[in-house]
């Protein structure tokens, strides 16, 4: 039995990797984040236990994975890439410490893919040869002076709530207020929304933007209009995964992972975290699929 830490990609279910999708389609238990696309959750086998983990603290998630990994093939499905602001490192260390076999399957990070979906290249010859990514949920603890001085593009994760203060601090420490900036909400999905404005006005422009959102600061934002004119947004967005993803070289080389050719349909009912008793996570026993599907998702 093993645990796979799988990156689900930035939002569009079609952006999961082939290997990640294989693991989802073959798992016994799927432990997933609330923001993972419902279409990917439904790709797990019909009899797999599905657990949405957002009601647990991280230590509890670690214990859950250890307990389940002893007896099941578990997929821990995380948005973006597991090792970029996904706490995948903490989960990997917990599994390693408990002697539970695991593998890490990287995902398409929103760091570059979400700006790209909005028509913003995070690097561009002559404008930016460096990218600095940072978590901005606690703006006052950031080294704003260092961020203001660093050349190239800034990409802030979890920065929407404190965007006004973030912009103020960057400007206070030397970033010009006229620096182009953007906020991309629900990037790569059909709900994607984008606003652009100078750094000094971006918080006002993004007042009604919903989370999840990425903040991009740098001259590369100014390229968005030209990229859009070139037709980058011309193709309609799809919520489907190419069926070819279920037949790969891994299959012909004897991979033990099962394949499914099921089309996406209505999301399968999922188990709230109550299906694994919180008071007994250290010795968690998964609820049966039938009992899991009878409960509503929290």
pLDDT bracket for residue 259 (50, 70, 90): very low
216-256 pLDDT, tens per residue? 999 999 999 999 887 655 555 556 665 544 433 334 333 33
For residues 217 and 139, membership in a common domain is answered with: yes
Q: Residue 248 is encoded by which pair of tokens?
A: 């790969």
Average pLDDT over residues 181-209: 98
Provide the CATH number for the domain around residue 205: 3.30.950.10
Provide the CATH number for the domain around residue 274: 3.40.1010.10
Output the pLDDT for position 213.
98
For residues 243 and 221, membership in a common domain is answered with: no
Angstrom CA distances, 107 to 157, 223, 278, stand at 16, 26, 29
Last residue of a domain, one of 207, 229, 251: 229
Last residue of a domain, one of 175, 198, 229: 229
Average pLDDT over residues 145-171: 98
For residue 119, the tally of other CB atoms under 10 A from its CB is: 21
Residue 115 lies in a domain: no
Cβ atoms 56, 45 nearer than 8 A: no
**Structural domain harbouring 83:** 3-109+238-293
For residues 176 and 145, membership in a common domain is answered with: yes
Q: Is the pLDDT of residue 275 over 50?
A: no
Average pLDDT, the chain: 85
Residue 114 lies in a domain: no
Q: How many domains does the chain have?
A: 2
pTM of the predicted model as reported, rounded to 2 decimal places = 0.80
Last residue of a domain, one of 187, 202, 229: 229
Residue 298 lies in a domain: no
For residues 225 and 242, membership in a common domain is answered with: no
9-60 pLDDT, tens per residue? 999 999 999 999 999 999 999 999 999 999 999 999 999 999 999 889 999 9
For residues 11 and 90, membership in a common domain is answered with: yes
For residues 219 and 276, membership in a common domain is answered with: no
Residue 102 lies in a domain: yes
Output the pLDDT for position 140.
96
Angstrom CA distances, 147 to 37, 84, 105, 150, 228, stand at 32, 18, 30, 5, 29
Output the pLDDT for position 230.
77
For residues 151 and 62, membership in a common domain is answered with: no
For residues 219 and 135, membership in a common domain is answered with: yes
For residues 126 and 270, membership in a common domain is answered with: no
59-68 pLDDT, tens per residue? 999 999 999 9
Output the pLDDT for position 290.
37
Q: Considering the chain, what percentage of its residues have pLDDT values greater than 90?
A: 75
Least confident of 105-119, 150-164, 185-199, 240-254: 240-254
Output the pLDDT for position 222.
98
């Amino acid at each position: 039995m093993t645990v796979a830490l799988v990156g689900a990609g930035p939002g569009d279910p079609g952006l999961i990797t082939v290997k990640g999708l294989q693991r989802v389609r073959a798992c016994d238990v799927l432990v997933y984040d609330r923001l993972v696309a419902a279409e990917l959750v439904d790709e797990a086998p019909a009899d797999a236990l599905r657990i949405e983990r957002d009601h647990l603290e991280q230590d509890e998630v670690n214990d859950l994975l250890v307990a389940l990994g002893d007896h099941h093939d578990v997929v821990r499905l995380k948005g973006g890439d597991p090792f970029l602001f996904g706490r995948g490192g903490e989960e990997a260390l917990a599994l390693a410490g408990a002697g539970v076999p695991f593998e890490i399957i990287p995902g398409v990070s929103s760091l570059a893919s979400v700006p790209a979906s909005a028509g913003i290249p995070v690097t561009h010859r002559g404008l930016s040869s460096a990218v600095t990514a940072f978590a901005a949920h606690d703006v006052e603890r950031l080294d704003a002076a260092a961020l203001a001085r660093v050349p190239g593009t800034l990409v802030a994760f979890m920065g929407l709530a404190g965007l006004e203060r973030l912009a103020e601090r960057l400007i206070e420490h030397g970033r010009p207020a006229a620096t182009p900036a953007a906020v991309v909400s629900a990037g790569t999905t059909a709900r994607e929304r984008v606003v652009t404005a100078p750094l000094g006005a971006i918080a006002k422009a993004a007042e009604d933007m919903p989370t999840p959102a990425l903040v991009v600061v740098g001259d590369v934002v100014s390229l968005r209009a030209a990229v859009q004119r070139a037709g980058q947004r011309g193709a309609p967005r799809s919520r489907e995964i190419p069926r070819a993803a279920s037949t790969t070289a891994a299959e012909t080389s004897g991979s033990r992972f099962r394949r499914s050719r099921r089309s996406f349909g209505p999301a399968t009912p999922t188990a709230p975290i109550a299906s694994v008793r919180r008071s007994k996570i250290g010795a968690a026993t998964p609820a049966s699929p039938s009992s899991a599907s009878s409960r509503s998702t929290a």
